[in-house]
Structure 1
């Protein structure tokens, strides 16, 4: 990618993909709590972006468009997977994924307790550091609605994550 954004053509798409794919998977994973679904949704979003790559580049930064498509794809998957989620709740949570810290697993588990709209705004605003106005634009909600969702989500997450010991407290030496 150059200073003005992604370049047209296959090489520009490859550079864009390499620069954005990992973070987008992490974003959608934080929203869905399911790495496989996140990877599938992101893959579909990049396929659709490739099909209209020239237009997306001419219109500016394609990342918000790709992110929106990935999130919508994940939401569609949520709707199709209601029975799967119901079974998941009956049988308990999946084992932690290899390589994830207990705190990260706790965070993803807490994010799962939010409704999809709250989860989406929390991830976009707090994990991607997008301003409220951009979150509102990408989600199709008003800035006020985004602020309300963030406030409610923070209360839920605060209660869910209050038992997690901060890393600095774990590492502090204990003196008698």
Structure 2
């Protein structure tokens, strides 16, 4: 019997959603691919148990968040800035909002960014977010509060947009 039976189907079915989460956590497509690949390499080792009695997607999301936070703790070279060139062409207002929001998200702590991605992009409840992050419900609530306050501080021009529904639309 193949201990990895069903893993390929799981990856094919959930790859895009997991990649989206990885991208929103890292803010970089290449880092997101690396993050997802490293997590899936670990998940396959636990696949038989997960397929039998676990929730493979929840486990994989939790592993993504944990691996991302772990990566952020290690010093890494600074990534190129996403700032606009001084004499670039005019961008639509929504595109500018997305750029400002992504820059502000990049300046949050890894846990703050993770809680916003899980709550407002992945549309998880506070309880589900606490389970994925392996923390208490109170921690999710306080991290959300502090993260939104920090976003308002970093990008005051987006203060009117910082509601859960608008964050979702701007981040897309």
Taking the TM superposition and a 5 Å limit, the aligned residue runs for 1:87-166 are 88=79, 93-94=81-82, 101-163=95-157
- Structure 1 unaligned regions, length at least 5: 1-7, 167-176
Compared CA separation, residues 19 and 161, structure 1 to 2 (3 A): farther
Q: Secondary structure at the match of 2:135?
A: coil
Q: CA RMSD in A?
A: 2.6
Question: TM-score if structure 2 supplies the norm length?
Answer: 0.73
Q: 1:84 aligned to 57, 77, 81, which one?
A: 77
| Superposition deviation, residue 126 in structure 1 | 0.6
Give how far 1:12 is off: 2.1
Contact between 2:19 and 2:33, CA under 8 Å: does it hold in 1? Answer: yes
CA distance in 2, matches of 1:32, 1:22: 15
Pairs aligned (count): 149
Which stretch shows the higher mean deviation, 112-121 or 15-24? Answer: 15-24
Equivalent of 1:39 in 23, 33, 36 = 33
Question: What per-residue deviation string (whole Å, max 9, x for no partner) do you get for residues 111-153 of structure 1?
Answer: 1121111111111111101111111122122111110110111
The change in CA–CA distance for 1:15 and 1:155 in structure 2 (over 3 A counts) is same
| Higher Rg of the two aligned structures | 1
Structure 2: gaps (5+ residues): 85-94, 162-172
Following superposition, the deviation at residue 76 of structure 1 comes to 2.4
Instruction: Note if contact 1:30-1:123 (Cα within 8 Å) is conserved in structure 2.
Output: yes
Deviations 1:27-83 (A, max 9, x none): 122122232222111111111222221110112320111112222222222222x24
